């Protein structure tokens, strides 16, 4: 799954042309990952996703709004091929299985120094639940009493807390995790959920992912957040065994979760909590049935725009 605030930055080696083009398109939240993948194929300067936010009075902060439009920006060097690439991007977007038509913004020209900082404006401070605060390293933040800060910079392994599925998992972790818990983060991505679990009081967290980039990013982010001694990171899947865990959090596709339902249930200890997300409303019934078929009890279904999360217990 994707994680929303989802960003991949790859600096292009263009010595003769210091000017960049910012290609921006507005899409529905459900279409964000597809649009970003299309732009990523043609934009060597990187892709940034700006998820819309809404203000929550209770937390006095802005959180991701899963119902609103998202802005997807791609960066490519200006040159003879740029017009051809832009036409190709529009054709690819037109042929893509999007739920709603995209709306293109006017192309912007950026100098080298402007490009190097322009994508940073898409990433600010996000508050999740009562205490969790996610921020990039370049942003200053004035702590409030009880704040737990997670510092994550956008990179090749997605997951900066901006995507609604990640946000729901963060809030659920804060609700479900007790101090001293043993936690599994399945499909760890950037490691944001594993880091959150460690900072919320877990004694040990195992982070698993099939992507070696995600494994590397999780190790680096855990070290940067001072929890490397609590977070063990491994390339692999749950099918290799493990546990029992007090809490399992899995932000991956609904079909994968259904396939792993029995393994997830076996890996939970008595009274353990399973937090799942990464799927839309149409996957809730099938996944709920699969989890209940293993003996788990569905505690809650959470919604954020078009995205859903399910919390179950043994």
For residue range 231-279, list pLDDT tens digits in order.
Answer: 999 998 887 657 799 999 999 988 899 999 999 999 999 999 999 998 8
| Cα 43 to Cα 242: distance, rounded to the nearest angstrom | 40
- Quote the CA–CA distance of 264 and 310 in Å, as a whole number: 13
The domain defined by 160-313 folds into Rossmann fold (3.40.50)
Low-confidence ranges of the chain (pLDDT < 70): 1-18, 51-67, 80, 112-123, 154-162, 240-241
309 forms beta bridges with 277, 302
What kind of architecture, by CATH, is found in domain 20-122? 2-Layer Sandwich (3.30)
Query: What pLDDT is stored for residue 52 in this prediction?
Result: 60
In contact, 314 and 296? CB cutoff 8 Å: yes
Residue 299 has what pLDDT? 97
Q: Which token pair is 96?
A: 């893509």
Q: State how far the Cα of 63 lies from the Cα of 53, in Å rounded to an integer.
A: 5
User: In a 10 Å sphere around its CB, with 0-12 CB exposed, 13-18 middle and 19+ buried, how is residue 124 labelled?
Assistant: middle
- Pairing relationship of beta strands 182-186 and 204-209 according to DSSP bridges: parallel
Q: What is the pLDDT of residue 13?
A: 40
Whether the upstream peptide bond of residue 294 has omega within 30° of 0, thus cis, is no
Backbone conformation region of residue 227, classed left if phi is above 0, alpha if psi is from -120 to 50, else beta: alpha
The answer to whether 272 and 250 have CB atoms below 8 angstroms apart is no
User: Alpha-carbon dihedral of residues 24, 28, 30, 35, nearest 10 degrees?
Assistant: -20
Distance between CA atoms of residues 284 and 78, nearest Å = 45
* pLDDT score at 163: 77
pLDDT tens-digit map of 61-71: 455 555 678 88
Question: Mean pLDDT for the chain?
Answer: 83
pLDDT computed for residue 281 by the predictor: 86
The set of residues, in sequence order, having a beta carbon less than 8 Å from that of 246 and lying 6+ positions away, is: 177, 178, 181, 182, 183, 268, 269, 271, 272, 273
Q: Which three-class secondary structure state does DSSP give residue 139?
A: coil
Backbone angles phi, psi at 85, to 5 degrees: -65, -40
What residue ranges do the domains of the chain occupy? 20-122, 160-313
């Amino acid at each position: 799954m994707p994680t929303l605030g989802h960003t991949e930055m790859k600096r292009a080696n263009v010595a003769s042309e210091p000017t960049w083009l910012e290609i921006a398109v507005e899409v529905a939240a459900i279409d964000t990952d597809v649009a970003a993948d299309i732009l990523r194929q043609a934009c060597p300067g990187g892709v940034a996703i700006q998820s819309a936010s809404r203000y929550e009075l209770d937390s006095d902060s802005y959180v991701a709004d899963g119902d609103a439009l998202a802005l997807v920006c791609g960066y490519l060097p200006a040159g003879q091929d740029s017009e051809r690439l832009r036409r190709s991007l529009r054709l690819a977007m037109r042929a893509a299985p999007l739920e709603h038509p995209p709306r293109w913004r006017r192309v912007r020209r950026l100098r080298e120094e402007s490009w190097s900082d322009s994508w940073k404006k898409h990433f600010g401070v996000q508050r999740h639940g009562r205490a969790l605060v996610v921020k990039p390293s370049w942003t200053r933040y004035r702590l409030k009493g009880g704040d737990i800060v997670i510092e994550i910079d956008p990179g090749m392994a997605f997951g900066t807390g901006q995507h609604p599925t990640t946000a729901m998992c963060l809030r659920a972790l804060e609700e479900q995790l007790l101090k001293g818990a043993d936690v599994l983060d399945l499909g760890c991505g950037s490691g944001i959920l594993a880091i959150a679990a460690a900072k919320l009081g877990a004694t040990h967290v195992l982070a698993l992912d099939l992507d070696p980039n995600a494994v590397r990013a999780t190790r680096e982010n855990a070290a940067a957040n001072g929890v490397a001694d609590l977070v063990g990171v491994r390339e692999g899947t749950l099918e290799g065994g493990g546990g029992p865990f007090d809490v399992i959090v899995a932000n991956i596709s609904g079909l994968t979760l259904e396939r792993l339902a029995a393994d997830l249930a076996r890996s939970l200890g008595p009274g353990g909590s399973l937090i799942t997300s990464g799927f839309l409303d149409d996957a809730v019934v099938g996944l709920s049935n699969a989890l209940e078929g293993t003996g788990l009890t569905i505690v809650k279904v959470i919604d954020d725009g078009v995205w859903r999360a399910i919390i179950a217990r043994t």
